[in-house]
Amino acid sequence: MARIIVVTSGKGGVGKTTTSAAIAMGLAKKGHKTAVIDFDVGLRNLDLIMGCERRVIYDLINVINGEASLRQALIKDKRCNQLFILPASQTRDKDALTKEGIGKILEELAKDFKYIVCDSPAGIERGANLAMYFADDAFVVTNPEIASVRDSDRMLGILASKSRRSENDEEAIKEYLLLTRYSPKRVKIGEMLSVEDVQDILSLHLLGVIPESKSVLNASNSGTPVILNEESNAGQAYADVVARYLGEDKPHRFIDEEKKGLFRKIFGSK
């Protein structure tokens, strides 16, 4: 049975695509055949973050319209043979994105894949609604920031009422909190909401905290999912997230400020 994961947030710029790329790569590297789908029709970016932008020939809308087969459109990752990317369309009309079309694609993917990661666009328009409609699990990506927390709560309401599972009276979508761009230093001096603050408000199961890290921008600059940078905090944090999702017991890291030695104080950290 394939498991469909939606990466959602409501608010833009909180790290949905970074997260989708990282966890899809993480799951695939653990040996699970994984597909990651970009639902942001018109503004595709997952291809860039995955570093396969020059290999895009067909996209999601081509498959829905029957202009290409799923096999033709899926891009096989060059670093991990268990990972496949289905890019969004760049130019086409959003109306082509239909529930029936997406349903068919997911059904076909489910025969062959273990995990299907749906990278949701920001907002609560059609793309976002369809990305979550068929989901089994939801990763709610939230920044420790007032607008992001509010929008996440809004998405929880939609997840609970407008999904296939809710419409069929099935078991609800499993919701997980992923707190990204976390700065323990700013939390300590009272400038940023803490993990506990956000959990108090959203009451979600915490899957992981991704620290604010330079390595995220470096990763997207080079088209390498940050999880592949095993030396970076953010990469390690995403690896933990994947492990926890798969049922491993990993204590949370990067929540408290790390103690720097004199050497690193002088020469800076990564």
Q: Please report, as ranges, the residues that interact with another protein according to CB under 8 A.
A: 145-146, 149-150, 153-154, 157, 187, 189-194, 197, 200-201
DSSP type of residue 55 = G
CB of 151 to another protein, least distance (A): 11
> Can you say whether the dihedral through the CA atoms of 249, 85, 231, 179 is positive or negative?
negative
CB of 154 to another protein, least distance (A): 7
Neighbours of 190 (CB within 10 A): 8
CB of 182 to another protein, least distance (A): 12
Residue number with CB closer to another protein (93 or 196): 196
Residue number with CB closer to another protein (33 or 165): 165
CB of 150 to another protein, least distance (A): 6
Residue number with CB closer to another protein (55 or 186): 186
Distant-in-sequence, close-in-space partners of 231: CB < 8 Å, separation ≥ 6: 270
Bin 174: left if φ > 0, else alpha if -120 < ψ < 50, else beta. Answer: beta
Residue number with CB closer to another protein (44 or 181): 181
Q: How far apart are CA 230 and CA 123, in angstroms?
A: 32
What is the separation, in whole angstroms, between the first and last Cα of the chain? 40
Residue number with CB closer to another protein (1 or 146): 146
Residue number with CB closer to another protein (110 or 201): 201
Q: Regarding beta strands 83-86 and 75-76, do their DSSP bridges make them parallel or antiparallel, or are they unpaired?
A: antiparallel
CB of 13 to another protein, least distance (A): 18
Q: How far apart are CA 107 and CA 35, in angstroms?
A: 12
CB of 1 to another protein, least distance (A): 31
Question: Which whole-number Å values give the CA distances from 68 to 117, 151, 207, in the listed order?
Answer: 21, 36, 36
